[in-house]
Structures are given as C-alpha cells and as structure tokens.
C-alpha cells in the first residue's frame, strides 16, 4: 500500500509529515486541523522497515499530497487501529487459553472463560472495522487515480431507491446479527461437553463365594 496507495497508507498509519525512519504509531489520538496526534506512542523506524524493508527509508506523509486526494483522516486512522488492537487481543487471549488448556487448568479459571465468552462478538467487530478502514481509506477514488467516487454514481437509480435498499439490507443484517448473537451466547451458556471418566467395572461374584 505504501507503494500503490500512499495517501491511504499515510492516513491509516497516522503519518502526517513525510520523513525518513518513519515511526509506527502504536497508539495515538487524532485531532485538529491541521491534523496531529496526541498522547501518541511510537516505535521509531518500524513503519519504514515494514513498508520498504529499510528502517531509514523515506515514507510519504499526508503533507505530500493535495488535500482533495486525501481520505477522511480521523475515521481511517481510528477504524484501522481499533482493528489492529482487536487482533492483538485475539492473539493474547487465545495464547493464554492455549497455555491453560495444555496444562489442564483452563476449566478452573473463570476469568479466562469469561474473557473468551465476551470475546465472541469481537471478530465480527474487527471485520467491520477493517471494512470501514478499507472503504473510507480509498476515498476519494473508486478506481485509484482514474475514477473518483463522485463520478461513479448511477444516473438511472434514484436516491429513494438507494435509501430503500440501504434500509432493507441494514434490517436484514441486523436481524442476522441478532440471531447470531443469540445462538452464540446460548451455546456458550450450555458450557463445554466434558465426558465423564469411564466407571470401573467390578467382576461379578463367583457362585462359590
């Protein structure tokens, strides 16, 4: 993306000025105009290395592009970083759960089981955040560098038809999501199916006894 859609890359990563040894923003609060990051935590040079394999490489920031070619900065940054944060959470919680499962203590750790249960909807949230980051981040282009979103609308489909289809699809997906949540929590509440250990079978007493 740093090579083919550098504006999107800069917006996703919160890189507001072009620089060598560009840092990877682990955490930051985007605000202001001109844009800036507050309370940021960065790893120097890591973004340059991830993008170009060289920790000293030059990476273009949003200051290198015309303002009309930039995506919405706040939503692009926030959706992408929340998606990444959820990914890190999945790695952490599943790693701990795997360790506890291997040493036979998982079912006795209620806090771990609760963390797993409450994490059930989070992959869906991560997928949606990724979709927002991709769709918002590609603006204002529908075909990068060739066709803008403002030029790609249909001249034969009316606004009312578009609104109706959006509402219909929104209701359908909301219903499917509610059913999914209901079924998942119902399954979780039933608990794991742990087989009872086999009972020892005693030999029948002999007639002589």
Look at strands 147-148 and 19-20 and give their pairing: unpaired
Prediction pTM value: 0.75
Q: Which of 144, 124, 167, 110 is nearest to 8 (CA)?
A: 144
Q: Mutual orientation of helices 122-137 and 6-13 as an angle, nearest 10°? A: 140
pLDDT tens digit sequence for 129-154: 999 999 999 999 988 888 998 888 78
> Rounded mean pLDDT of the chain?
87
Strands (DSSP E) found in 12-148: 19-20, 24-31, 36-43, 58-59, 141-143, 147-148
The Cα–Cα gap between 180 and 195 comes to: 27
Q: Tell me the angle at which helices 122-137 and 73-102 cross, rounded to the nearest 10 degrees.
A: 150
Give pLDDT tens digits for 155-164.
Answer: 888 888 989 9
* Average pLDDT rounded to a whole number, residues 14-38: 85
Tokens in use for 24? Answer: 């990877």
């Amino acid at each position: 993306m740093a090579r083919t859609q550098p504006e999107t890359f800069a917006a996703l990563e919160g890189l507001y000025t072009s620089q060598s040894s560009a840092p990877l923003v682990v955490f930051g609060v985007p605000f202001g105009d001109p844009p800036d990051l507050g309370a940021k935590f960065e790893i120097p040079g890591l973004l340059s290395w991830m993008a170009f394999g060289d920790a000293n490489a030059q990476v273009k920031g949003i200051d290198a592009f015309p303002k009309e070619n930039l995506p919405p900065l706040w939503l692009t940054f926030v959706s992408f970083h929340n998606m990444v944060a959820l990914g890190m959470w999945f790695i952490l919680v599943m790693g701990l759960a795997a360790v506890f499962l291997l040493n036979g203590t998982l079912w006795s750790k209620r806090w771990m089981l609760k963390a797993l249960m409450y994490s059930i909807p989070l992959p869906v949230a991560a997928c949606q955040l990724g979709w927002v980051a991709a769709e918002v981040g590609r603006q204002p282009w529908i075909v990068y560098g060739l066709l803008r979103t403002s030029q790609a609308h249909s001249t034969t489909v009316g606004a009312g038809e578009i609104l109706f289809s959006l509402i219909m699809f929104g209701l359908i997906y909301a219903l499917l999501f509610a059913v999914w949540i209901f079924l998942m929590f119902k399954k979780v509440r039933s608990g794991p199916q742990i087989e009872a250990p086999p009972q020892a079978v005693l030999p029948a007493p002999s007639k002589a006894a």
